[in-house]
Structure 1
Amino acid sequence: MGEGATRKSKRWAELEQRILDERERGRCFAARGRYDVRLLRRHIAHGLIVEPFPRLFVMNDCWRTLRPDARHLHIVRALAARDPDMVFCSHSAALVHGLPVSYRLLDQVHCLTNPAAPTKSRGMLRRHGMVPHAVTSVDGIRVISLVEAAVDSMVSAPFADALAVADGLLRKLDISRDVLQFIVEELAGSRHGVATARRAAAWADGRAESGGESIARAVMIEAGMSPSDIQPAFSDPVEPWREVRPDFCFLLKDGSAALGELDGLDKYDDPELTQGRSTTEVLARERQRESHLTLLDMPVVRFSMHDVLTPGRLVYLLSVGGVTPSTLAPGDYRATGDGRPRQ
């Protein structure tokens, strides 16, 4: 009895170290033997570890700190390490390529299966019987190409989430809206969901700086309140030699204008947006920018992602700022750019 307990304790210590080692690689630990799986699952009850995907384990304290996109990548990396021949597609591949995939789409892992001898989807693993145009490798993970992953995600997503991916692709490739529309027709012309992908491509704009901004804009479009411009440049009232850029601008029929600002967490933890600055520095800079925006003598409607995702909330907040379908001037942001990201 004592000797068996010692062996189990030693084995647990070994497994714990391997879990920690895999965490350093940004992935879950993939247990292989049934004995190890049983031993690890015993520790789930104690709150030490979690099993976010069958036979994949990670320390609970680490898992709690990860955002949904990072959690998904931890699972994908572990599966790729366990099965190097696995090819990921749809939302999983789009995320691996660095596109902004909505958290709502990350409840399943998407991979390819052989169309001639398909393997059924099971649980959190969704298998797709498609023949990709190309397969590439990103950080050791086999995925369908960036462009095909984007379209594959767009055809199976709601409009708002498809628009986020479409905007992200324009930013990543520095291509125009017209080129994206051509790509969608070439890769998804007859696929189920192509209507949503076409609509997302028609409204896409790489000037949006985050997936959250894209989703907010989609809510505005659905409500008949599309912004007149995205990230427009104004002379800073305090420092005229600088530019200040709100997220959205709405031109009204009476000749006035209102601004829209998404208070998103991306501004504080996205490396591309923080540019090496600390959270404190980014917060201070953002507060300064907001104070300067208020001096432009235009109403500034600020909203969070919670407001965006709560039905009717964003429309209400914009209406308080004077923005409604009946007050908006004709035209929308597509007249101010071809969709290419702002330089």
Structure 2
Amino acid sequence: MADFPLRIRTSADKPYEEAWPRELSRRAKSGELLRIRHGCYVDAQSWGQLEDEQRYRGMLKAMTSTARRPPLFGAETAGVLWGFPRSDLPPDIQVIVPVGSGRKSSNGVRRMTSPAGEVSAEAMGCGLRVTGKIQTAVDLCMIYDFPWAVAVMDRLLNTKPLPAESRKRPVTKADVEDLIALLPSGAKRRKVRRVLDFADGSAMYPGESLSRVYIAELRFPAPELQYRVMDELGLAAVVDFWWKDHALVGEFDGRGKYQKPEYMQGKTVAQVVIDEKNRENRIRATGKNVVRWEWKEATNPQLLLRELTKAGLPRINRRP
């Protein structure tokens, strides 16, 4: 995780200057500084230019810098730090405390014990402590609804490193099952196992995972993921979904490929669009049809139903 870009000012910056805390308070009242947590201030104008996730991470760093003991962030907060998929930012800061600690939630901080029992902790590069990535994924599967839980588990099992990782430590379904077995109730174990059974590490992006869940719920045939389309020139494309019996390719078009540097690879938006068109032409030249959908269809089963039906994909009688 990249460090928080703003300097956080606290009374500890000048511990021997009695007037320093009053100076911080005065500058906050004037609007120059903004207090983001008790005793923690940042430049007000710069804070206003940050995205919501950057502000959330700033709150975590402020909490860490003023805590007597470094907090252990868990659940949805840990999900943000690891970079797992989510529908939105958490409504509060979630920290893991020992069972029977007696520490209560307050001031936007929810103190909770881990549903998985014994807690594994890891240190992020910026000094934040967080629950291990497998435990975080299991905890999220008990919080999120099924589609978003699948998106988390798919991402955990995928071979590409999470945003917080410098290199990937591969995770298998057996690794996850070891932690599921420690959950304290049968209902929790069944809920997470259902997610794990459906999960497929071939899917990495949430739009692909959500689409896959709704494809199953809508009783369409299960697609093959990350299918390699070959033509006379070699590899034409690796596509998101492939239905062999219907010669149909499905592609989820997230906005990332037209906005994020890791997808654009130094190209302009116009170049990316042209490359995508040429790629699709090569796919169609092999005799395959192509259906594309965007985020609004990936998050709305009825819209996805419309697109796949228009593409000629039949539904099956029984639920997969």
Report the equivalent of 1:148: 135
- The residue number in structure 1 matching 2:123 is 137
Equivalent in the alignment of 1:73: 57
1:91–1:101 contact (8 Å) kept in structure 2:
no
- Count of residues in correspondence between the two structures: 295
Q: Give the direction of change, closer, same or farther, for the CA distance of 1:94–1:315 in structure 2 (3 Å limit).
A: same
Residue 250 of structure 1: aligned partner? 243
Cα offsets for 1:32-84 (capped at 9, x unmatched) = 658746753763xxxx9877778665656665563x54443343333333336
Instruction: Tell me the SS of whatever aligns to 1:301.
Output: strand
| Residue 293 of structure 1, CA deviation | 3.1
Q: 1:283 to 1:136 in 2, by over 3 A?
A: same
**In the alignment, which residue of structure 2 is the partner of 1:20?**
none
Structure 1 unaligned blocks of 5 or more: 1-22, 332-343
**Aligned equivalent of 1:259:** 249
CA gap of 1:196–1:286, structure 2 versus 1, over 3 A, is farther
Report what 2:82 is aligned to: 97
Superposition RMSD in Å:
3.6
Cα 1:208–1:50, aligned 2, differ >3 Å: closer, same or farther?
Answer: farther
Question: Following the alignment from structure 1 to structure 2, what is the Cα–Cα distance between the partners of residues 115 and 213?
Answer: 38
Deviation, 1:321, is: 1.1
- Greater fraction of residues in helix: 1
**1:1-343 equivalent positions in 2, closer than 5 A:** 25-26=4-5, 29=8, 36=24, 40=28, 43=31, 59=44, 66=51, 69-83=53-67, 85-98=70-83, 100-104=84-88, 106-122=90-106, 124-130=108-114, 132-139=118-125, 140-171=127-158, 172=161, 173-177=169-173, 179-180=174-175, 182-188=177-183, 190=185, 193-225=188-220, 227-236=222-231, 240-251=233-244, 255-270=245-260, 273-274=263-264, 276-278=265-267, 280=269, 282-326=272-316
Q: Distance in 2 between matches of 1:191 and 1:122?
A: 31
Q: Structure 1 263/53 Cα, relative in aligned 2: closer, same or farther at 3 Å?
A: farther
Q: 1:317 and 1:220 mapped to 2: Cα distance?
A: 11
Distance 1:319 1:223, change over 3 A: same
The offset of 1:155, in angstroms, is: 1.5
Distance 2:29 2:194 in 1: 46
Contact 1:50–1:57 (8 Å) recurs in 2: yes
Return the offset for 1:214. 1.4
Q: 1:160 to 1:75 in 2, by over 3 A?
A: farther
Distance 1:24 1:203, change over 3 A: closer
Unaligned stretches of 5+ residues in structure 2: 12-20, 162-168
TM-superposed deviation, 1:156? 1.3
Give the 3 Å change call, closer, same or farther, for CA 24–102 of structure 1 in structure 2.
Answer: closer
Matching residue of 1:17: none
Aligned equivalent of 2:16: none
Name the SS for the 1:231 alignment partner.
strand
Change (3 A) 1:244 1:156: same
Distance of 2:188 and 2:45 partners within structure 1: 37
Amino acid at match of 1:77: K
Contact (CA 8 Å) 2:247, 2:287: kept in 1 or not? no
Work out the percentage of aligned pairs sharing the same amino acid: 22
With the length of structure 1 as denominator, give the TM-score of the two structures: 0.71
Instruction: Answer yes or no: is the 8 Å Cα contact 2:291–2:311 preserved in 1.
Output: yes
Matched residue, 1:5: none
Describe the SS at the equivalent of 1:314: helix
Tell me if the contact between 2:181 and 2:189 (Cα under 8 Å) persists in the aligned partners.
Answer: no
Specify the code of the residue in structure 2 equivalent to 1:90.
Answer: A
Instruction: Provide the rounded CA distance (Å) in 2 between the counterparts of 1:296 and 1:71.
Output: 48
> How far did 1:278 drift?
4.2
Distance 1:183 1:169 in 2: 15
